[in-house]
């Protein structure tokens, strides 16, 4: 199961460069009209350590789908529909903001201004959401007038969200109740999708430039995080053979590629956590939603495990590393047996007991 996120932003902010760094796909930099998508392994250093411990025959990583999208311009109807089409089915947005000055790189503005650029993107998304909400309101108007209870409630909720959008508040910032969210669910509002901010800078020595600081303030408004990245450097790094990367990183004065942090943050934005199954055959990372109960998580492994769920044996990754082996962990009494109500935690190593379907 790969969950989708999309890189969005105004033209020439660096989306495609970052997409290429993520995928090493080397998509053409200009004129890419189609949304490009790719499924990537989620880098996770815990996997490396589990593989060192079990020496499995097979290793399977958790995955994430990332899409590149066309740039967003103000009041551009044809682009708006293309853009919205390309992000309707994603569950999180990675908003790239140009934080580098470079006269060599064409840009439609004379200045660098993260506030202006994020406003442009938010306004376009809200314009699209307004239209969607108005459509729904028109569709249910007759039913609402006839007094249909559901339609009356949905109308009130949709009108409330619409009027806040018209005041310039993206749906994700409206602190909607679960009932309000239910009423707008079928509209699949783009301004409701969670946003991770990506500040694209020239080099990591500029990590704290004034534009990056502005992006952090914008992200704080969404209670979100900011990943600072040098798209250009990352693209260069991704083209190197893995063995040559360490030296190059050192030359750039950075410890690790920011792509790993970016993908991990995107994964968290999607509301996802990782749990593991381990053994000599296979070490594997699985994905479930934060808050999923044990049977639901077990169902990611096999539907029989959900249907016939009995118990889940759980080791904490950190406990296992501390103990050094499964046997030592068991001796220390740190293996837990959990039931149906257990919420699987990030880093759980699980083994499911279940009745096989007949």
Ligand X SMILES: Nc1nc2c(ncn2[C@@H]2O[C@H](COP(=O)(O)OP(=O)(O)O)[C@@H](O)[C@H]2O)c(=O)[nH]1
Q: Of the candidates 5, 8, 47, 71, which one interacts with ligand X according to CB under 6 A? A: 71
Give CA–CA dist 30/146, Å, rounded: 53
User: What is the helix, strand, coil percentage profile of the chain, to 5?
Assistant: 45, 20, 35
* Radius of gyration for the chain, computed over Cα atoms and rounded to the nearest angstrom: 23
Closer to Mg ion by Cβ: residue 196 or 294: 196
Residue 200 contact among ligand X, Mg ion, none, beta carbon within 5 to 8 Å by kind? ligand X
Single out the residue of 10, 71, 84, 69 nearest to residue 38, CA to CA: 69
Nearest to residue 83, comparing CAs of 135, 38, 28, 122? 122
Residue 16 vs 128, nearer CB to ligand X: 16
Listed ranges 6-14, 74-82, 247-255, 340-348: which one lies at the site for ligand X (CB under 6 A): 6-14
Among residues 2, 11, 300, 304, the one that binds ligand X under rule CB under 6 A: 11
Can you tell me the distance from the alpha carbon of 268 to that of 264, in angstroms, rounded to the nearest whole number? 6
Give the x-and-dash track for 17-56 against ligand X (CB under 6 A). x-----------x---------------------------
**Nearest alpha-carbon partner for 345 in 46, 5, 4:** 46
> Site for ligand X (CB under 6 A): which residue of 67, 100, 199, 259?
100
* Contact of residue 23 among Mg ion, ligand X, none (CB under 5-8 Å per partner type): none
CB of 20 to ligand X, least distance (A): 8
Q: State the minimum distance, in angstroms, from the CB of residue 183 to ligand X.
A: 34
Type and span of the H or E element at 329? helix 326-331
Between residue 164 and residue 223, which ones bind ligand X under the rule CB under 6 A? Answer: 200, 202
Cβ atoms 286, 61 nearer than 8 A:
no
Residue ranges in contact with ligand X by CB under 6 A: 9, 11-17, 29, 71, 100, 102, 105, 200, 202, 230-232
């Amino acid at each position: 199961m790969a969950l989708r996120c999309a890189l969005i932003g105004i033209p020439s902010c660096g989306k495609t460069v970052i997409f290429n760094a993520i995928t090493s796909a080397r998509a053409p930099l200009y004129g890419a009209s189609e949304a490009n998508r790719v499924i990537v392994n989620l880098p996770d250093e815990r996997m490396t350590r589990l593989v060192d411990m079990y020496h499995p025959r097979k290793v399977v990583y958790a995955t994430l789908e990332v899409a590149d999208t066309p740039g967003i311009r103000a009041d551009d109807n044809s682009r708006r529909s293309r853009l919205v089409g390309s992000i309707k089915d994603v569950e999180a947005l990675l908003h790239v903001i140009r934080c580098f000055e470079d006269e060599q790189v064409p840009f439609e503005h004379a200045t660098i201004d993260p506030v202006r650029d994020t406003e442009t993107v938010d306004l376009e998304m809200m314009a699209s959401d307004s239209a969607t909400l108005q459509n729904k309101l028109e569709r249910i108007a007759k039913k609402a007038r006839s007094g249909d209870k559901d339609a009356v409630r949905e109308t009130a909720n949709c009108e409330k969200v619409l009027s806040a959008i018209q005041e310039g508040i993206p749906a994700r910032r409206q602190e909607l109740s679960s009932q309000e969210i239910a009423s707008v669910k079928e509209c699949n509002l783009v301004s409701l999708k969670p946003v991770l901010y990506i500040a694209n800078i020239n080099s990591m020595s500029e990590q704290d430039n004034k534009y990056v600081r502005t992006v952090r303030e914008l992200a704080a408004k969404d209670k979100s995080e900011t990943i600072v990245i040098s798209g250009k450097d990352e693209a260069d790094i991704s083209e190197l053979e893995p063995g040559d990367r360490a030296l190059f990183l050192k030359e750039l004065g950075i410890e690790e590629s920011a792509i790993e942090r970016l993908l991990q943050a995107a994964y968290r934005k999607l509301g996802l956590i990782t749990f593991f199954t381990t053994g000599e055959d296979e070490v594997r990372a699985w994905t479930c939603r934060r808050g999923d109960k044990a049977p639901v998580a077990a169902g990611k492994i096999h539907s029989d495990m959900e249907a016939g769920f009995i118990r889940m044996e759980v080791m904490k990754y950190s406990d296992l590393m501390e103990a050094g082996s499964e046997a030592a962990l068991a001796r220390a009494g740190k293996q837990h047996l959990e039931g149906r109500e257990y919420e699987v935690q990030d880093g759980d190593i699980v083994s499911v007991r279940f009745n096989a379907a007949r």
